[in-house]
Structure 1
Amino acid sequence: MDFGYKEEELVDVLEDVDGVRDLMVFNDDVNTFDHVIETLVRVCKHSTTQAEQCAYIIHYNGKCSVKKGSLANLKPMKEAICEAGIDAQVV
Structure 2
Amino acid sequence: MAPYDKKEENHNPGKENMGDHVLILYNDDVNTFDDVINALITICQHDSTQAEQCTIIAHYNGSCEIKRGLYPDLVHLRQKLEEQSLRVRIHQLIVP
TM-score normalised by L of structure 1: 0.78
Which residue of the partner structure matches residue 5 of structure 2?
A: none
CA distance, structure 1, for counterparts of residue 71 and residue 63 of structure 2: 19
Matches within 5 A, 1:36-47: 36-47=36-47
Detail structure 1 runs of 4+ shifted over 4 Å in the superposition: none
- Number of residue equivalences: 74
Task: Give unpaired runs (5+ residues) of structure 2.
Answer: 1-17, 92-96
CA distance, structure 1, for counterparts of residue 47 and residue 37 of structure 2: 9
RMSD: 1.2
SS at match of 1:73: helix
Shift of 1:20: 1.1
Change (3 A) 1:67 1:19: closer
| Residue type of the alignment partner of 2:28 | D
| Residue type of the alignment partner of 1:74 | L
Which residue of the partner structure matches residue 11 of structure 1?
A: none
> Is 1:65 aligned with 2:80?
no
Who wins on radius of gyration, i.e. which is larger? 2
Task: Give unpaired runs (5+ residues) of structure 1.
Answer: 1-17
Matches within 5 A, 1:5-84: 19-84=19-84
> What is the identity percentage for the equivalent residue pairs of Structure 1 and Structure 2?
42
Q: Indicate the structure with greater helix content.
A: 1
